[in-house]
Structure 1
Amino acid sequence: MDRAPGLSVRLKLTLSYAGFLMVAGALLLGAVWLFLLRYVPDRAMLINADRLDNNGVFPVRSGLLRVFAPRAAAVMGFLLVFSLLGGWFLAGRMLAPLTRITDATRVAATGSLSHRIALEGRKDEFRELADAFDGMLARLEAHVAEQQRFAANASHELRTPLAITQTLLDVARRDGGSDHGELVERLRAVNTRAIDLTEALLLLSRADQRSFVREPVDLSLIAEEAVETLLPLAEERGLTVETAGELTPAVGSHALLLQLTTNLVHNAIVHNVAGGNVWVTTATEGERALLTVENTGEVLSPQLVATLVEPFRRGSERLHTDHAGVGLGLAIVKSIAEAHDGTLKLDPRPEGGLRVTVAF
C-alpha cells in the first residue's frame, strides 16, 4: 500500500519525551516563581541590613523578574537540548528490537523463511512479538516444505497414468490392425485412476480450505453407512467387520465425515491379512466424540506409522494394487479431522495392524 511520508516513530517518541520534559520543567519553574512572589514585596521596604542586596536595596518583584527570567530561559533551553538528545538516544534503544523485527519481515518477504529474529532478553511486548513472529515463520516454512513435497508427489502420481496412456496409444498406432478391446479396457482403468487421484486432490483442497457447512451429525450412523458401503469388499477378502457404539453426536460436514470414515475403513480392509478383522467403534468421552478403526495386519513399526499420514504413502510399500487407492487416504483423513478442529492418532497394534482414533 502506498502511503504518504510521515515522521518516524523514533522522532515521534523523541518529540514526546522532549515535550513532556519541557512541560515538567515549565511547571517546576512556575512553582519556583510563585514561591518567590509570595515572599518578595512589590515595593521597596526598610528592613534589616542582612536582607539588603549589594547595593543596599531590598529586592522587589520587578527586579526579581529581570534576574529570574534570563536564568529560567537558559534552564528551559538546556532542558530542550538535553531532552531532544536524550530522547533520541532512548527512543533508539527502545525501538532496536522493532528494527530487527522489521528486517526479518523484509527477509521473509523475499521468500526466505529460514531466518529467525531470536530476540534475546527478558520477556516484554517486543520479545512476545518477536517470538510469535519466529513461530509463524517456522510454521510457514514447514507448510511450504510440505506443499512442495505434495506438489512433487502429485506431479509424479499424475504423470504415471498419463505416461501409461501415451505408451498404450503409441503401441496402438503402430499396430493398427490388432484388436483394440484390451487396449480400451486398460485405458479405461488408467483413466479411472487418474480421475480418482484428481477427485482426491480436490477433496483434500476442500478440507484444507474449510469450505463446508457445519451441522449436527451422528458418528455412529456415519460409521454404519461407511461399513455398509465397503462390506462387499471386506467379504471378497474374507474379512470380518464389526461395528459398535451408541449415539455419538458431533458437529461438522456429513459428507466430509463420511469420507473420513470411509477412508479409514477402506484402509483397514485393504491393509489386512486373509481372514482378518476390522473393528469400527464410536463413543463419547466428556465433550469429545471418538471414532476408532482397528484392523489386523502386519506388525508395523512406530517409525513407519508416523509417516502414514503423509500424502502418497501406502503402508510399507508404494505398490499399486486393485484397491490400493491413490495414496491420499490418511492424508485426507488428517485434513478433514483438522478442518473439524479434531485430532488424529495412529498407534500400531502389538499383535499386528493399526489403530486409528479421531477425536472431535
Structure 2
Amino acid sequence: MNRRPGLSARLKLTLSYAGFLLLAGTLMLAVVWVFVLRWLPEVDPGRIQERFGAVVITGPNRSDLLRGFAPAAGAALAFLLVFGLLGGWFLAGRMLAPLNRIAEAARTAAKGSLSHRIRLHGREDEFRELADVFDAMLDRLETHVAEQERFAANASHELRTPLAVSKSLLDAARDDPARRRDELVERLHTINTRAIDLTEALLLLSRAGTKNFTREAVDLSLLAEEAAETLLPQAERRRITLEVTGEEARVLGSGELLLRMVTNLVQNAVVHNLPSGGTVTVHTEARRDEGVLRVENTGRPVSPDLVATITEPFQRGDQRIRTDEHAGVGLGLAIVHSIVRAHDGTLDLTPRPAGGLVVTIRLPSGTRGDLPGEKPGGRPASGSRRR
C-alpha cells in the first residue's frame, strides 16, 4: 500500500513529551502568577507610610516582580522545551526499541526466512507480550510451511509412482504385442484404482483442513455403529473381534466428515492388527462439554517415535502389522487429524503396553435438543454390540 511519508513514531512521541512538559511548566508559572503576584500591592517602591506612629518601608510591588518574573519564566520555559525534546527523543528511542526489533523480525520473515526469532528479554509488558506472540506465530508458520513442503513432495512422489508404472506397462505392451491383454488390463485397473483413491484422499484432506462446512447435530455412537457394520466383513476375514460399546455422544459438526473420521480409525485398527485373533473396541461416551470417541486395537508394540509422526501425510506405520490386502495410501490418520482440527477437537494416540494403539478423540458437544432421535435412515442408537 502506497502512503505519503509522515512523521516517525519516535518524533511524534518526542514532540508529545516536550509539549506535555512545556504545558506543565506553563501551568505551574500561571499558578505562581495567579496565587502570588496577583495579591501584591500596586505601590511605588520605597514609599514610607506612617501608621499609628510606626514607620513602614514597603518592598517591591507587582510591577517590579513582574519585570523580574517574566524573563525568568521565559528562560524556564525555553529550558523545559529543550530538555523535553532531548529527553523525549531519548525516552522514545528506549520505548520503541522492542518495536523496532519486532519490525525487523517481520521484515526478515517477509523475505522468506522464518527461522529468525525476537526472543525479547525482560519483565512482562505489552511489547514483550507482542514479541512472544510473534515468535509463537513464526513457530507455527515455520512448522506449517515445513509440513506443506513435505506434503507436496510426498504427494508428487505418490502420484508419480502409479503413472510411471502405467507408462512402463504400456511401453512393455507396445514392445511385446503378443503379451496377454487380460493381465495388462488387470494391472492397469489396479494401478488406476490406487491413483484414484489417492486423488480422492488428497481432495478430502484439503477439504477437511478448512472449516467451510455446515455444522449439524451428530451422534458419534451412530457413526461408530455404521462404520463397524461397513467394516465387519473385513474384520471377519481377518478373524478379528470388532466391538462397539458406550453411549450416545452428541457433537456438532459435519456428519459426512465425522463418518469418514470414524471409518478411517476403525479401518486402521482392523488393518494394523494381529494376523489373527485380534480385537478392536470402539467406545463412545458423553462428558460435560464434549463427546469422546475411543478406538483401541491389539497388535505389535508401537514405538513413541512412530506415534509422534503417524498423523503426518503418507506415514503408513510400517512398524505395525499390515496385510497386503490393504496397502493404503498413507493418508488415513492424516485425514482423521485434519477433520478433528477442523471441528476444534483433540486427537490423542497412546501405545498399549501389550501392543497396539489407543486413539482418543474429543469433540465439542452439541446442545441438548439439537440432536434428532434418529440418524438419517431411521436407525436408532443401539448402545453396544459385539462383533
1:313 corresponds to: 315
2:335 corresponds to: 332
8 Å contact kept, 1:270–1:323: yes
Stretch of structure 1 that moved more, 93-102 or 26-35: 26-35
1:75 corresponds to: 76
Residues 103 and 153 (structure 1 numbering): CA distance in 2 closer, same or farther, change over 3 Å? same
Residues 280 and 214 (structure 1 numbering): CA distance in 2 closer, same or farther, change over 3 Å? same
Q: How does 1:57-206 map to 2 (within 5 A)?
A: 58-206=59-207
* Partner deviation per Cα, 1:305-336 (whole Å, 9 max, x = no partner): 22221211122359893312100101111111
- CA RMSD across the alignment: 1.9
2:37 corresponds to: 37
Q: Alpha-carbon deviation of 1:173?
A: 1.2
Amino acid in structure 1 at the alignment position of 2:100 = T
Q: Alpha-carbon deviation of 1:74?
A: 1.4
Separation (CA, whole Å) in 2 of partners of 1:355 and 1:33: 83
Separation (CA, whole Å) in 1 of partners of 2:331 and 2:48: 105
8 Å contact kept, 1:277–1:296: yes
Separation (CA, whole Å) in 2 of partners of 1:246 and 1:31: 78
1:275 corresponds to: 277
Q: Alpha-carbon deviation of 1:143?
A: 1.2
Separation (CA, whole Å) in 1 of partners of 2:56 and 2:234: 118
Residues 194 and 331 (structure 1 numbering): CA distance in 2 closer, same or farther, change over 3 Å? same
TM-score relative to the length of structure 2: 0.87
Stretch of structure 1 that moved more, 117-126 or 38-47: 38-47
Q: Alpha-carbon deviation of 1:252?
A: 0.7
Residues 247 and 31 (structure 1 numbering): CA distance in 2 closer, same or farther, change over 3 Å? same
Amino acid in structure 1 at the alignment position of 2:351 = P
Alignment of 1:355 with 2:361, yes or no, is no
Amino acid in structure 2 at the alignment position of 1:329 = G
1:294 corresponds to: 296
* Partner deviation per Cα, 1:137-183 (whole Å, 9 max, x = no partner): 11111111111111111111111111111111111111124332211
Residues 154 and 51 (structure 1 numbering): CA distance in 2 closer, same or farther, change over 3 Å? farther
Residues 97 and 357 (structure 1 numbering): CA distance in 2 closer, same or farther, change over 3 Å? same
TM-score relative to the length of structure 1: 0.94
8 Å contact kept, 1:312–1:327: yes
- Give the number of aligned pairs: 355
1:243 corresponds to: 244
8 Å contact kept, 1:270–1:324: no
Amino acid in structure 2 at the alignment position of 1:304 = L
Higher helix share: 1
8 Å contact kept, 1:293–1:357: yes
Q: Which has the higher contact order (CA 8 A, sep 6+)?
A: 2
1:55 corresponds to: none
Separation (CA, whole Å) in 2 of partners of 1:213 and 1:134: 34
Q: Alpha-carbon deviation of 1:125?
A: 0.6
* Partner deviation per Cα, 1:49-104 (whole Å, 9 max, x = no partner): 8856xxxxx53333333222222111111111111111111111111111111111
8 Å contact kept, 2:102–2:118: yes
2:366 corresponds to: none
Sequence identity percentage:
65
Stretch of structure 1 that moved more, 159-168 or 230-239: 230-239
Candidates 322, 325, 331, aligned match of 1:322: 325
8 Å contact kept, 1:337–1:358: yes
Separation (CA, whole Å) in 2 of partners of 1:245 and 1:93: 61
Amino acid in structure 2 at the alignment position of 1:348 = P
Separation (CA, whole Å) in 2 of partners of 1:221 and 1:81: 77
* SS of 2:283 mapped into structure 1: strand
Q: Which runs of 5+ in 2 are unaligned?
A: 50-54, 364-387
* Partner deviation per Cα, 1:185-204 (whole Å, 9 max, x = no partner): 11111111111111111111
8 Å contact kept, 1:304–1:316: no
Separation (CA, whole Å) in 2 of partners of 1:201 and 1:47: 107
